[in-house]
Amino acid sequence: MTEKIIPKEHERRFVPDMDKLPFSSFLFPAVSIHQGYLEDELMTRVRDECDLSSAKHTYSMTRKTGEGVSRDEDEKEITMKEFYSMWDKAKNCSLSKNRFFVIHDGIKVQVNYYDGKLLGYFQIEVEFDSHEEAVAFIPPVWLGREVTDDSQHGNYSLAKFGKPE
Which positions are annotated as active-site residues? 37
Q: Looking at the domain 8-161, which fold is it?
A: Hypothetical Protein Pfu-838710-001 (2.40.320)
Q: Per the confidence metrics, is the pTM higher than 0.85?
A: yes
- Region 47-73: mean pLDDT is 90
Residue 114 carries which DSSP code? E
- Region 141-149: mean pLDDT is 94
Question: What are 8-31's pLDDT values in tens digits?
Answer: 788 999 999 888 888 887 778 899
**Has residue 156 got a pLDDT over 90?**
yes
Yes or no: say if 14 and 82 are a contact pair by the CB < 8 Å rule.
no
Q: How far is CA 70 from CA 60, 78, 132, in A?
A: 20, 24, 10
The percentage of the chain sitting over the pLDDT mark of 90, rounded to a whole number, equals: 68
Average pLDDT for the chain:
90
Q: What is the pLDDT of residue 58?
A: 98
Task: pLDDT band for 1, please (50, 70, 90 cuts).
Answer: low
What is the distance, to the nearest Å, from the Cα of residue 28 to the centroid of all Cα atoms in its chain? 17
Question: What are 68-120's pLDDT values in tens digits?
Answer: 888 877 889 999 999 999 999 998 999 999 999 998 888 889 999 999 999 99
Q: What is the pLDDT of residue 157?
A: 94
Q: What is the pLDDT of residue 4?
A: 64
Yes or no: say if 24 and 16 are a contact pair by the CB < 8 Å rule.
no
Domain parsing of the chain, residue ranges: 8-161
What is the distance, to the nearest Å, from the Cα of residue 50 to the centroid of all Cα atoms in its chain? 14
CA nearest to 39, candidates 97, 93, 75, 96 = 93
**Has residue 149 got a pLDDT over 90?**
yes
